[in-house]
Amino acid sequence: MHVAREFGQRFKTAVEKNFDQSADTYDRFEERHHLFETLTRRQLELIEPSRPERILDVGCGTGISTLALQQAMAGSSPNIYAIDISERMLLRARERCGSLPGVYFIRGDAEKLSGYFNEAFDAIFYTASIFLLPGFAESLRQASHLLLPGGVLSISYYAGLFDEKGDDAIRKAFPDQKYQYGTVPIVELVSCLESLPATRTTRVDFRFEVSRDFLFDFLSIPAQSSGLFPKIPYLERIPRIRDFCDLLAKRVDPVFMGWEFLIARKR
């Protein structure tokens, strides 16, 4: 097997396992902080005036983005297809949205979209998922084929934690700490979107101040903490994350979380 493909497969297996362990903490984090709902709502605002009726939600997780999409479009009876690689995350998504008409969940790999869908979509959302796809370029290429003319790709990309000058907060507070969440550099993502045929891309920055408790809840999600302490079993990571957050809040004040929205419209 080609080295890059082998890395990609190993990365995907690790992501699936991490998210299978994450469903409970993920939903607890969201109940307190509403991050993923906020991201989805911003992504919807940014595609206005589009009012998509056929929507694909890629990496739907526990269905937070799916529900936000359904609620926002409820007046027009949308059809929403939502795909995720993690069975445990999907189980929650089905509980959250199961009784809603026109919402369909599929377990599958975001890098093989054309194997699952023949439908054409008005909008395809990647809410907090694109940076987890080693084969993001292939996923986007297939997504672009599934879009109708005038359709839109709406993406939120996690850019990291920052100080007030915009410098990397973790590098500043812990120069020796490796923290990598995801596998996709933003420059590669942007240039991939720009290379899609007949597509115009806009990029919008989103930064907001976060509290120590927000950081602790966020970094305690297994799929997050594995980016900080990959070799340590989950329960042993928790006290380390607590110390890490205490020190970070002392060394960098205020701390900002950064996201990038990328909106790519097909002509």
Ligand X SMILES: C[S@@+](CC[C@H](N)C(=O)[O-])C[C@H]1O[C@@H](n2cnc3c(N)ncnc32)[C@H](O)[C@@H]1O
User: Contact residues for ligand X (CB under 6 A)?
Assistant: 12, 15, 19, 36, 40, 59-61, 64-65, 83-86, 89, 109-111, 127-129, 132-133
Nearer to ligand X, 116 or 174 (CB): 116
Tokens encoding 24: 């409970």
The C-alpha atoms of residue 224 and residue 238 are separated, in whole angstroms, by 12
Nearer to ligand X, 62 or 199 (CB): 62
CB of 202 to ligand X, least distance (A): 20
Tokens encoding 37: 């709902």
Helices of type H across the chain: 3-20, 23-33, 35-46, 64-73, 87-97, 113-116, 136-146, 169-173, 186-195, 212-219, 222-228, 234-251
The C-alpha atoms of residue 256 and residue 248 are separated, in whole angstroms, by 12
Nearer to ligand X, 15 or 47 (CB): 15
Nearer to ligand X, 14 or 198 (CB): 14
CB of 139 to ligand X, least distance (A): 8
* DSSP H/E element including 135: none
Nearer to ligand X, 50 or 183 (CB): 183
CB of 164 to ligand X, least distance (A): 26
Q: How far is CA 15 from CA 8, 113, 129, 227, 230, in A?
A: 10, 18, 11, 11, 12
CB of 12 to ligand X, least distance (A): 5
CB of 149 to ligand X, least distance (A): 26
**What is residue 85's DSSP assignment?**
S
Q: Which residue is at the shortest CB distance from ligand X?
A: 61
